[in-house]
A and B are shown apart, each in its own frame.
Chain A
Amino acid sequence: MAIGRQGTGSSPAAGLLQRPQGTSGIASWLTTVDHKRLGILYILTSMTFLGLASVEAFIIRLQLAAPNQQLVSPDVYNQLFTMHGLTMVFLAIMPLGTGFANYFVPLMIGARDLAFPRLNAFGYWIYALGGLFVYTSFFLGGAPDAGWFAYAPLTSLSNNPGNGIDFYMIGLFIGGIGTLVTAMNLIVTIFSMRAPGMTMMRMPVFVWMILVTAFLIIFAFPPLTVALFQVIMDRTFGTLFYVPSAGGLPILWQHLFWIFGHPEVYIIILPAFGVISEVIPTFSRKPLFGYPVMILSGIFIGFMGFAVWSHHMFTTGLGPVANTAFSLTSFVIGIPTGVKIFNWLGTMWGGAIRFATPMVYALAFLFMFVIGGITGIMLAMPPFDAQANSTYFVVAHFHYVMGGGALFAFLAGLYYWFPKMTGKMFSDRWALASFWFFFIGFNMIFMPQHFAGLMGMPRRIQTYDAGLGLEIWNLVSTAGTFVMGVGMIMIVLGFVHAFRSGEPAEDDPWDARTLEWSTSSPPPHHNFDEQPIATDRDAWWAKKYPDLAHADDGSAYEGIDFDAGGIHMPGQSWYPFLLSFAVFIGGYGVMYDNWPLAILMGLVVVASTYGWAFEGVGGHHVHPRSSAQEGAGD
């Protein structure tokens, strides 16, 4: 809602809040609009939530190590697995991808920030505060306990009094706003802010995957928002959306949730595919095999992702025709995924493969994602799914694709881009050692769970009987958590050590292919001293090795001074944080039926919006020392 306009300076327009100028200290972080700082905030916050979710998982596995244990009560156990799923999906893995997108999309397309920097900041803060909101539930009467997909009517006020479910509904509602605005921001950025010469078909595949992901978010989140809103209305105002005695249909919640929920997993995995599509070419020293096919398959997966949702509902009695339809679409979606695997292998074929840590994680991703994909195809058969649904077989499947797939891919990205973000190198030997603990532990945890499920172990039970043949699988699975835990700790320690005392990293330590490597490590605030020009796909590689690429000579842009008058950088602002904070407090108002508080916070939101608008775009101009760096980044 831009009523305001570019300011000629940083005028404190509406007189409400001055634009801060400092670059250090807490205030500078609260008011930052720099996509790189926000990217780091996303990554650190999501890693924190990943840690919390891992603790929850650890307790779950301890409880399940042997039959008939009573380490935690059923009530606490339900909260643990609900929060574990919610945290991993919404607060850890998806925002990790968002963090990488935030940091690297502008750099990869040769831009200096996102299209709407303050909106970007708002997206981060409302995510962080939404996550915090959900976690305060542990201290305010109990966390949500109906599973991460919260099936109605288990979430009704009569079936679930207490505030846990409200924390779920309101918290995700709040966090979802952030996801939506960031997706919009990224789409505008990718369409409108690409470097001269960078056509769509010259963009890095990571950027393409983010673009497709952003469109998925645009279309998938609103149904979730509506469903959450409906349950909030049911619980707060007595509406009848999911009240069976009034004719309400619990299955409607499942449809709406999965119309969101299935695209959500593609929202998670497509950026991961994008990371792999950057790492494998770099460490094979060859371009990505089949670039147009990789893009097309990504788009096709995104599109088909909306056509498979009821494969989560095969046991709900939809009927053979519906089950057949969704089964076929679920099979079909495996095809472009398989094509991607072949293209990654084709990239490595004929290459000169370096087994640096990012590549090792990428290879582990390939291995585990194929396994997860295979069990996915199995689950796409409704008759088999009738046995496997809601058992540990499904748990094993999605951990292989989300953990073995997305998490490992993002770890590859973290190692790949760590030198760029921090300017420090990590120890490859330590990283590889931690990899082995992490990888072996991961497989120890989740491979046995396939069998536990096949032997008849449903999910979401806090204990199981002896004599069903489940003991060995659960014991090995729990043992794996210790191995993986060691790996996790080693990974964290490795990064901390590298950040504090690692060797300084070069601009381009991997001899990579995309534009982020053409600038310093870490990049300056304005990203590039000179506006980069793309002369081919893999624009940086084409600059370094013009003979190896089909580069054009960039003559179309010769002589244009893109930064006449200085590089315009956006100004910091309090409003994104203030607005998020007001929404956060307002959430408590709605939760406790404290309408004065909710309305007051609503007014703060309105006032902040006006302040934001009248503050204007603001910003300042940067004159880098680029005259001394002719051909910077070559």
Chain B
Amino acid sequence: MAGQAPSVGAPAPAQSHGWRSSTLPDTKLLMWIFLASDVMFFGTLIGTYLIYKGRSIVGPYPLDVLDIPLTTVSTFVLLMSSFLMVIALHALRQGNIPGFRLWTFGVAFFGAIFLGFQVYEFRHFVELGLTLDRNLFGTTFFVLTGTHGVHVAIGVLWLLSIVVASYVRPQHWQAKDATYLEVAGLYWHFVDIVWIVIFTLVYLVDFI
């Protein structure tokens, strides 16, 4: 073993200071780890929903209130937003700054539309008598989808901030800085995937 030096890592990637023993940028690794914890977070909320499924003592019950066609539209909007996210990241990597700004704004815009659908849906459910404290369905549904909605809202705010920042400090939003958009993209895709799971388990399962 003497004389052999295993080569570990590489000199600093652009965003970090000093030696790094991994080629993965720090912020990206941080985001992946955060998402791992968020998987457990949503997993617990979803698990709670599933455990309490069918245990509500009074109505309204899921079949009474859920509107599959409407929620399918909002799900599609969210999925499209993820697609736009991919395009935005690609644009930034190519150095296409106007494109990056447009598509990133698009992601936020679509996210906001999704949130609009959520707000409408929540208000409609309340009108039908389903509230947080009405029954276990109301409790678990609103807390689960509401928490997801808050995650979406944070993402929308984040992406809009990026767009604004790219105007205020354009020198910090060039192709070389794509990792910072990629990290936001990872978060956004995660939030989208969580919605797919929620949509399937909360909405579709009852109707199929």
Task: Known A192-B29, A240-B139, A568-B18; judge A197-B51 contact (CB<8 A).
Answer: no
Distance in angstroms from B12 CB to nearest chain A CB is 9
Closest to A610 in B: B161
8 Å CB interface, B15-50 against A: 15-22, 24, 26-27, 29-30, 33-34, 36-38, 40-41, 43-45, 48
Fill in one digit per residue for A606-618: 1 if any B CB lies within 8 Å of its CB, else 0. 0000100100010
Q: Are A2 and B27 in contact (CB under 8 A)?
A: yes
The reply to whether the CB of A191 lies closer than 8 angstroms to some CB of chain B is yes
Q: Are A247 and B136 in contact (CB under 8 A)?
A: yes
Q: Are A188 and B136 in contact (CB under 8 A)?
A: no
Besides the known contacts A184-B30, A568-B18, 15 further A-B residue pairs in the complex with CB atoms under 8 A apart: A183-B33, A184-B33, A191-B22, A195-B19, A223-B44, A226-B44, A227-B44, A229-B143, A230-B48, A233-B143, A237-B133, A241-B139, A248-B52, A256-B48, A551-B2
Closest to B18 in A: A568
Q: Looking at the complex, which one of B4, B22, B45, B135 makes contact with A552 (CB distance below 8 Å)?
A: B4
Task: Known A188-B30, A192-B29, A219-B40; judge A226-B45 contact (CB<8 A).
Answer: yes
The reply to whether the CB of A1 lies closer than 8 angstroms to some CB of chain B is yes
Distance in angstroms from A56 CB to nearest chain B CB is 31
Fill in one digit per residue for A525-568: 1 if any B CB lies within 8 Å of its CB, else 0. 00000010001000000000000001111111100101100011
By a CB distance below 8 angstroms, the chain A residues around B57 are: 246-247
The reply to whether the CB of A222 lies closer than 8 angstroms to some CB of chain B is yes
Closest to A234 in B: B139
By a CB distance below 8 angstroms, the chain B residues around A256 are: 44, 48
By a CB distance below 8 angstroms, the chain B residues around A194 are: 8-9, 21
Q: Are B26 and A188 in contact (CB under 8 A)?
A: yes
Closest to B181 in A: A3
Q: Are A198 and B21 in contact (CB under 8 A)?
A: yes
By a CB distance below 8 angstroms, the chain A residues around B37 are: 180, 184, 218-219, 221-222
8 Å CB interface, A210-251 against B: 218-223, 225-227, 229-230, 233, 237-241, 246-249
Q: Looking at the complex, which one of B11, B24, B44, B133 makes contact with A222 (CB distance below 8 Å)?
A: B44
Task: Known A226-B45, A568-B17; judge A552-B5 contact (CB<8 A).
Answer: yes
What's the Cα separation between A111 and B17 when bound, in Å? 11
What's the Cα separation between A550 and B2 when bound, in Å? 6
Q: Are B19 and A196 in contact (CB under 8 A)?
A: yes
In the complex, 26 of the A-B residue pairs with CB atoms within 8 angstroms, ordered by the A residue number, are A1-B158, A3-B158, A3-B162, A115-B26, A116-B30, A180-B37, A183-B33, A184-B34, A184-B37, A191-B22, A192-B9, A192-B29, A197-B5, A197-B8, A198-B21, A199-B6, A199-B8, A225-B41, A226-B44, A233-B143, A241-B139, A552-B1, A552-B5, A555-B3, A556-B6, A560-B11
Closest to B183 in A: A2
Q: Are B56 and A247 in contact (CB under 8 A)?
A: yes
The reply to whether the CB of A468 lies closer than 8 angstroms to some CB of chain B is no
Q: Are A192 and B21 in contact (CB under 8 A)?
A: yes
Q: Are A556 and B52 in contact (CB under 8 A)?
A: no
Q: Are A562 and B18 in contact (CB under 8 A)?
A: yes
What's the Cα separation between A617 and B180 when bound, in Å? 13
The reply to whether the CB of B165 lies closer than 8 angstroms to some CB of chain A is yes
Point out residues on A near B: beta carbons under 8 Å: 1-6, 111-112, 115-116, 180, 183-185, 187-188, 191-199, 218-223, 225-227, 229-230, 233, 237-241, 246-249, 252, 256, 531, 535, 550-557, 560, 562-563, 567-568, 610, 613, 617, 619
**3 cross-chain pairs, A with B, having the tightest CB-CB distances, nearest first:** A556-B5, A238-B133, A222-B40
What's the Cα separation between A240 and B37 when bound, in Å? 25
Fill in one digit per residue for B71-88: 1 if any A CB lies within 8 Å of its CB, else 0. 000000000000000000
By a CB distance below 8 angstroms, the chain A residues around B34 are: 184
Distance in angstroms from B196 CB to nearest chain A CB is 19
Closest to A533 in B: B5
Q: Are A531 and B5 in contact (CB under 8 A)?
A: no
Point out residues on B near A: beta carbons under 8 Å: 1-9, 11, 15-22, 24, 26-27, 29-30, 33-34, 36-38, 40-41, 43-45, 48, 51-52, 55-57, 132-133, 135-136, 138-140, 143, 158, 161-162, 165, 172, 177, 180, 183
What's the Cα separation between A211 and B5 when bound, in Å? 24
By a CB distance below 8 angstroms, the chain A residues around B139 are: 233, 239-241
Distance in angstroms from B168 CB to nearest chain A CB is 9
By a CB distance below 8 angstroms, the chain A residues around B9 are: 192, 194, 196
**Interface-central residue, B4, B11, B26, B34, by most chain A CB under 10 Å:** B26
By a CB distance below 8 angstroms, the chain A residues around B26 are: 115-116, 188, 192
By a CB distance below 8 angstroms, the chain A residues around B180 are: 2-3, 5
Task: Known A552-B2, A557-B5; judge A191-B21 contact (CB<8 A).
Answer: yes
Distance in angstroms from B22 CB to nearest chain A CB is 4
Distance in angstroms from A267 CB to nearest chain B CB is 14
What's the Cα separation between A551 and B5 when bound, in Å? 9
By a CB distance below 8 angstroms, the chain B residues around A563 are: 18
By a CB distance below 8 angstroms, the chain A residues around B4 are: 552
Q: Looking at the complex, which one of A6, A187, A551 makes contact with B15 (CB distance below 8 Å)?
A: A6
By a CB distance below 8 angstroms, the chain B residues around A240 are: 133, 135-136, 138-139
What's the Cα separation between A246 and B7 when bound, in Å? 61
What's the Cα separation between A557 and B7 when bound, in Å? 9
Q: Are B21 and A193 in contact (CB under 8 A)?
A: yes
Q: Are B3 and A241 in contact (CB under 8 A)?
A: no
By a CB distance below 8 angstroms, the chain A residues around B33 are: 183-184, 187-188, 218
Q: Are B132 and A237 in contact (CB under 8 A)?
A: yes
Closest to B11 in A: A560
Q: Looking at the complex, which one of A198, A219, A562 makes contact with B8 (CB distance below 8 Å)?
A: A198
Q: Looking at the complex, which one of B1, B2, B20 makes contact with A192 (CB distance below 8 Å)?
A: B20
What's the Cα separation between A447 and B163 when bound, in Å? 64
What's the Cα separation between A76 and B19 when bound, in Å? 55
Closest to B142 in A: A239
What's the Cα separation between A329 and B6 when bound, in Å? 38
Task: Known A197-B6, A219-B40; judge A238-B45 contact (CB<8 A).
Answer: no
What's the Cα separation between A550 and B161 when bound, in Å? 53
By a CB distance below 8 angstroms, the chain A residues around B51 are: 249, 252
Closest to B2 in A: A552
Closest to B44 in A: A226
Distance in angstroms from B49 CB to nearest chain A CB is 11
Closest to B58 in A: A246
What's the Cα separation between A240 and B140 when bound, in Å? 8
Task: Known A3-B180, A247-B57, A249-B51; judge A222-B5 contact (CB<8 A).
Answer: no
Distance in angstroms from B20 CB to nearest chain A CB is 5
Q: Are A553 and B143 in contact (CB under 8 A)?
A: no
By a CB distance below 8 angstroms, the chain A residues around B16 are: 192
What's the Cα separation between A560 and B10 when bound, in Å? 12
Q: Are A246 and B135 in contact (CB under 8 A)?
A: yes
By a CB distance below 8 angstroms, the chain B residues around A249 are: 51-52, 55
Distance in angstroms from A103 CB to nearest chain B CB is 19
Q: Are A193 and B20 in contact (CB under 8 A)?
A: yes
What's the Cα separation between A225 and B24 when bound, in Å? 29
By a CB distance below 8 angstroms, the chain B residues around A180 are: 37
Closest to A190 in B: B21
Q: Are B143 and A239 in contact (CB under 8 A)?
A: yes
Q: Are B38 and A241 in contact (CB under 8 A)?
A: no
**Interface-central residue, A197, A256, A551, A560, by most chain B CB under 10 Å:** A197
What's the Cα separation between A552 and B1 when bound, in Å? 6
By a CB distance below 8 angstroms, the chain A residues around B143 are: 229-230, 233, 239
Closest to B37 in A: A218
Q: Looking at the complex, which one of A239, A551, A552, A556 makes contact with B133 (CB distance below 8 Å)?
A: A239
By a CB distance below 8 angstroms, the chain B residues around A535 are: 5
What's the Cα separation between A423 and B74 when bound, in Å? 62
